[in-house]
Amino acid sequence: MRTTTPNSAAISGRWRRMGASALGVAALVLTGLGSAAHASAAPAVTAGATAAATTAAKVTWAPTPCATPKHRGDLTCNSFRVTGGTTAFQKQRAAQTSKAAQVTPKAAAASPTGYGPSDLQDAYGLTDAASAGGSGETIAVVDAYDDPNAAADLAAYRSYYGLPACTVASGCFKKVSQSGSTTSLPTADSGWAEEESLDLDMASAVCPNCKILLVEATSSSMANLGKAVNEAVALGAKFVSNSYGGSESSSDTSYDTSYFKHPGVAITVSAGDEGYGAEYPAASKYVTSVGGTALSRSSTSRGWTEKVWNTSSTEGTGSGCSAYDAKPTWQTDTGCAKRTISDVSAVADPATGVSVYDSYGVTAGWYTFGGTSASAPVIAAVYALAGAPGSSDYPAAYPYAAGASALNDVTSGSNGSCSSGAAYLCTARSGYDGPTGLGTPEGTAAFTG
């Protein structure tokens, strides 16, 4: 569990987080960001500062409440919400308009303060694919607990950005429990509702023509989240996004078989937000593990630049060697005898975060989020734009078979310290590395068989 500033220490792991739960919540309450002050903790926009002042305003953020487990053994979401400063999106807008703005706590923003659909599509070479592709495909988002406002918040996001409507009535959006019920849903939870808004909005941003299925687990235990994954597949989803994780355990290989072994389905999982170190289910050999980057505009021909997302030794994108999962045949790096995290990556740094609309348990309005909870649904949506996987394929293998030009190679930054003999596990380099995998999307070519 992390405290409220990006430079603070974190307590890692599924079990260790539980021990710090009470302390973490207390810290958030003291800073106006915990559940007791949840409704007044959203960022707002303050206009009128100079561009120079805007550039100097350091971005701060706090973990969403679902980053603290309710019970021992629960998995946690991998997301942060920006609470102050000037995001990369706002700096970009200030440079274009000479009107500066900053995120400040205490009220929801009236307009977005993070990257939106056109930014993400442009950054990842997806503008044409997002316009023409995705029809008939369903992206499933798996999370814990219920977000009663999911449909309404999704509608607000899509309407603002001019995306096609995606409603329950039209059959484009569907929300079910882990057993498939549309009426008997889990207990509502405002922290997980923030996560669900983030996931739904990112799926929409990258694949606006896709249908969306939200499967809500009864709790954030691996058993219930795993059953939700199985239900998503049973309902026909070929693309399943999972933005949660926790410490590895000796049970993980059995979880692989029970919940994630779905040939013909692209399952994406967040690599984690605690820097170097393996998480599950990102370590499953049947999923695409998704790392995180800092994404910024640049003067390059691409127009964007990326580096490893890292704030401190205990905060940044996850990566590393699994202690239990065998190395899949398509992964050939030599510094890790078992499964290596990650496979690919996308934006995750809260300072270069994404725009989200949320209203349950918070002041209704616009928020900026980061964490590998953002990158996992982005990659799931890229797979959806690329089309249905082969019926016997495990689509995590697809990027490894693609040429170098099919991905944006991320070559700078690190997420911690690792063995000098296998420095690529925590440090970016040309080609494959742990924090960013093979790179970030450049169109859809790396995500099709």
Cβ atoms of 435 and 428 closer than 8 Å:
yes
169: left (phi over 0), alpha (psi -120 to 50) or beta: alpha
Q: Are 45 and 54 in contact (CB under 8 A)?
A: no
Distance CA 12, CA 251 (A): 19
| Strand-pair category, 338-341 with 101-104 | unpaired
In this predicted structure, what is the pLDDT of residue 262? 98
pLDDT of residue 104: 57
Spans of the chain, pLDDT less than 70: 1-56, 98-107
Structure tokens at 199: 């996931």
CB atoms within 10 A of CB 144: 28
- Between CA 357 and CA 244 the distance in angstroms is 20
| CA nearest to 76, candidates 10, 138, 7 | 10
Q: Is the dihedral of CA 303, 307, 311, 314 positive or negative?
A: positive
Q: What is the pLDDT of residues 43-91, one digit of tens each?
A: 444 444 444 444 448 999 999 999 999 999 999 999 999 999 999 999 8
Q: Are strands 101-104 and 80-84 parallel, antiparallel or unpaired?
A: unpaired
